[in-house]
Amino acid sequence: MFCVECGAEGPTYQGLCARDFLKKHPVVAPPEVLDLDRCTSCGSFRLASGWSKIDRELALAGLLRESIPKLPPWERVTFTHVARDEDANNLSLTVKALGRFEALQSVQDFRVRVRIKPTLCDSCQKQRSRYFEGVLQVRGDGRELTPQEVRGVRTFVLARVDRSGDSGAFVSRIEDVHGGLDFYLSTNALGKTLAREVSESFGGSVSSSPKLFGQKEGREVYRVTSLVRLGAFHIGDVVRHKGALAEVTSVRPFVVLRDLATGEARRFKPKDVRTARRVEAERFEAKIERLEGGEVVAIHPDSDEARPVRPRPEDRTVRAVVVWTPDGAYLSRLPPEPSKA
């Protein structure tokens, strides 16, 4: 027998001498990066067979075995590796892949980066979704939450819990209830903290009610439901209150309504403005012009429509933020709304 490549006499493998065979056939085609899921709660690793509670070295060996296939015609390949931590979630692996074909062996050296992906395994996920102590309820005060509030509150709560960095603080589940949201939380303290933060950010009142739900190690265990009621109005809303048109300039601790016609601001307890009704209005910066008859008008930036402005702007004003309603244009104390485009 002789090698078809170099002509050397001796044993051949698929027509090649050992040297040419090894040169022609790499054992594996290693990737640059491999990802490995790790449960942040119990430390399990996810392999193709599922989640398993094994140590990291075993998990890395399994990962190499199942994600780096041997190249033909190698019949069997085994890996050995040395891992070096680059940081908490990145490892550099120096790997030897040993391939076997008939009587031949070949060793291929390579490096691969392993990214540990923190996540939750199925059973920890399930355990968490059943477990809760505290409940946070978010509702509107005498109204349903708007879709924007539902989205905003949900994002706010999840971000807060995420950023707390406390692995014992988690949201078991979120339920959309008619007109509001319920958050089931790992601890009562978390519910209370979130209730305060939601009310501070969105404007609302907080109450809480503990309910005895059992005993743990001879201690009474309570589930605390914290309820946030978001105020009826937001800063910037235009409302009709007792016949007058007003803009809302503050929602807590008091609701401040600034009368648009007179410019006078008054503060109310939230329950005293329940009868106020929201009015469709735009708020933008407009050009102010003086007509020949002495009337002062604001010009709508899109339609060029002119409407008298109340109260009368100071003499030299050429631009001003106005509230534009079907009744007319009014000087505002608030910044213009961000463009809706």
The smaller minimum CB distance to Zn ion, of residues 124 and 198, is found at 124
Contact between 224 and Zn ion per CB under 5 A: no
Work out how close the CB of 39 gets to Zn ion at its nearest, in angstroms, rounded to a whole number.
3
The smaller minimum CB distance to Zn ion, of residues 128 and 234, is found at 128
The amino acid sitting at 239 is V
Contact between 37 and Zn ion per CB under 5 A: no
Strand partners, 11: none
Q: How far apart are CA 54 and CA 36, in angstroms?
A: 13
Of 1-9, 147-155, 230-238, 249-257, the window that binds Zn ion (rule: CB under 5 A) is 1-9
Contact between 41 and Zn ion per CB under 5 A: yes
Work out how close the CB of 125 gets to Zn ion at its nearest, in angstroms, rounded to a whole number.
8
Work out how close the CB of 3 gets to Zn ion at its nearest, in angstroms, rounded to a whole number.
3
Contact between 47 and Zn ion per CB under 5 A: no
CB 238 within 8 A of CB 222: no
Which 111-140 positions form the footprint of Zn ion (CB under 5 A)? 121, 124
Contact between 22 and Zn ion per CB under 5 A: no
Contact between 59 and Zn ion per CB under 5 A: no
Contact between 1 and Zn ion per CB under 5 A: no
Work out how close the CB of 40 gets to Zn ion at its nearest, in angstroms, rounded to a whole number.
8
Among 13, 20, 283, 332, binds Zn ion (CB under 5 A): 20
Work out how close the CB of 166 gets to Zn ion at its nearest, in angstroms, rounded to a whole number.
17
The smaller minimum CB distance to Zn ion, of residues 112 and 124, is found at 124
Size of the site for Zn ion (CB under 5 A): 12
Contact between 221 and Zn ion per CB under 5 A: no
Q: From residue 63 to residue 102, what is the string marking binding to Zn ion with x (rule CB under 5 A)?
A: ----------------------------------------
Contact between 36 and Zn ion per CB under 5 A: no
Contact between 6 and Zn ion per CB under 5 A: yes
Residues 6+ apart with CB under 8 A from 242: 275
Contact between 3 and Zn ion per CB under 5 A: yes
Contact between 17 and Zn ion per CB under 5 A: yes
Of 40-48, 234-242, 317-325, 327-335, the window that binds Zn ion (rule: CB under 5 A) is 40-48
- Three-state secondary structure readout of the chain: CECCCCCCECCCECCECHHHHHHHCCCECCCCEEEEEEECCCCCEEECCEEECCCHHHHHHHHHHHHCCECCCCCEEEEEEEEEEEECCEEEEEEEEEEEECCEEEEEEEEEEEEEEEECCHHHHHHHHHCCCEEEEEEECCCCCCHHHHHHHHHHHHHHHHHCCCCCCCEEEEEEECCEEEEEECCHHHHHHHHHHHHHHHCEEEEEEEEEEEEECCEEEEEEEEEEEECCCCCCCEEEECCEEEEEEECCCCEEEEECCCCCEEEECHHHHCCCEECCCEEEEEEEEECCCCCEEEECCCCCCEEEEECCCCCCCCEEEEEEECCEEEECCCCCCCCCC
The DSSP bridge pattern shows strands 33-39 and 104-119 to be parallel
The smaller minimum CB distance to Zn ion, of residues 5 and 337, is found at 5
Residues in the site for Zn ion, rule: CB under 5 A? Answer: 3, 5-6, 8, 17, 20, 39, 41-42, 44, 121, 124
